[in-house]
Amino acid sequence: MSTEPHEPEDVLDEELEDEEPEINGDSLDLEDDAVDVAADERRGPDKPRRVTLRIRRKLPGRRLDKYLHARFPRMSRTLLQKLIKQGDITVNGKPTKPSYEPDGGDRVVVVIPPPEPYDLIPEPMPLDILYEDDYLLAINKPKGIIVHPSHATQTGTIANGLACYARSLSHGDDPFRPGIVHRLDKNTTGVMLVAKTDETHWRLSLQFERRTVLKTYLAVVEGWPQLDADVIDAPLIAHPTMQDRFIVSITHPDVVRRISKHAVTEYEIVERFRGYALAHLHPKTGRTHQLRVHMSYIGHPMAGDTFYGGHHVSELSLTGRGSDTPITSQQALHAYRIRFTHPILEKEMQIEAPPPPELHRLIQLLREHRSLARQSG
């Protein structure tokens, strides 16, 4: 088997729609209007990288700077406009303007500047290690902590803790995400994979890209879902007025295709209670807040998820007595299990993360006080 490093960060694959996988540090959300037709030879981390795109069809109303920002979300529109004006982004070999609307057959060359020098600050922190070998490790991410910093001086993230814990981590184009193959939201707990070597990183990334990684989330949802299992295929868009919030797009199909992001979630109900249900959720795409938005969309938001229509749950509300303090301070969602092929050893892996105490207590109270068997008895 070849061990030559794969460069998915330069391969703009029209099939890849997940935001979650980190492709050697680059997370690309791609539509079918562009594919990569050429990439520069391997360059060092301090050298610029050139990517050539071919536009498949005319994009009416889509400015070049906005289009490229969607292709390269870590590059700001201000930076892209600067690169266009100084000639580092060309169309068909000629200088262009940020307002240019790409046409079918256009060849767009983007010279991506190297990242600024950095030093990720190692920071001691307790890490719940679920699995570890010479190539990768898996952690049980706690709530209330983000995965990686957004600037060199930020601390208190999982990446800072990993930099302190591990003797080696994979490198990538993003200096603030060493070892990070995929992410979890700040308040989502559970299993997360970390690559120790570059080969491990690109091989794991390829599994995420091909959607052969099977993820199972544990969630307590409100109400009585009509079906025991179903697939939610509903595209997501950013909320028009509320920052960091997403909604299901129900506009005209042509509009949906241009501005929304394909999102699919499978779910199955594994246990029912009076007023609640315990569900296994299987995301087939990796959109931000996807599981929370989808469950809210079908009328069953997650317990504790007030951002998407859920309600606080307390011992008093469940049992009629005790404290009215919310049992969980965030959505009742936990990345419970991940299945994948070991990128180096090529054996099937399944890693599970036990639920955090708050979620465990919530489920225990539901079983003790909201059991359907208890009601019928």
> Which residues, at least 6 apart from 30, have a Cβ–Cβ distance to it below 8 Å?
12, 13, 14, 16, 17, 71
**Confidence (pLDDT) at 1:** 45
**Quick one: tokens of 364?**
């225990």
Rounded distance, CA 24 to CA 177, Å?
9
Q: Mean pLDDT per 10-residue run, the chain (377 residues)?
A: 39 31 35 45 64 86 88 82 93 93 92 71 94 97 89 81 92 78 92 95 92 97 97 92 88 62 95 98 94 97 97 96 94 97 97 97 97 67
**Quick one: tokens of 72?**
């390269």
**Quick one: tokens of 134?**
């010479």
Rounded distance, CA 68 to CA 104, Å?
15
Chain region(s) in the chain for CATH 3.10.290.10: 8-112
pTM higher than the cut 0.85: no
Q: In the CATH hierarchy, which fold is given to the domain comprising 8-112?
A: 3.10.290
Instruction: Give yes or no for a contact between 291 and 265, defined as CB atoms under 8 angstroms apart.
Output: yes
**Confidence (pLDDT) at 173:** 62
Q: In the CATH hierarchy, which fold is given to the domain comprising 214-376?
A: Pseudouridine synthase (3.30.2350)
> Which residues, at least 6 apart from 59, have a Cβ–Cβ distance to it below 8 Å?
33, 67, 101, 102, 103
Chain region(s) in the chain for CATH 3.30.2350.10: 214-376
**Confidence (pLDDT) at 18:** 33
**Confidence (pLDDT) at 25:** 33
Q: Identify the CA nearest to 70 among candidates 53, 87, 85, 86.
A: 53
Task: Please name the residue that has the structure tokens 């694959």.
Answer: 13
**Confidence (pLDDT) at 171:** 82
Rounded distance, CA 166 to CA 183, Å?
18
Q: Which uninterrupted H or E stretch holds 297?
A: helix 290-297
Rounded distance, CA 196 to CA 160, Å?
15
Rounded distance, CA 206 to CA 183, Å?
15
**Confidence (pLDDT) at 37:** 41
Task: Please name the residue that has the structure tokens 């307590």.
Answer: 220
**Confidence (pLDDT) at 3:** 43
User: Could you give the residue numbers annotated as active site?
Assistant: 185
**Confidence (pLDDT) at 252:** 54
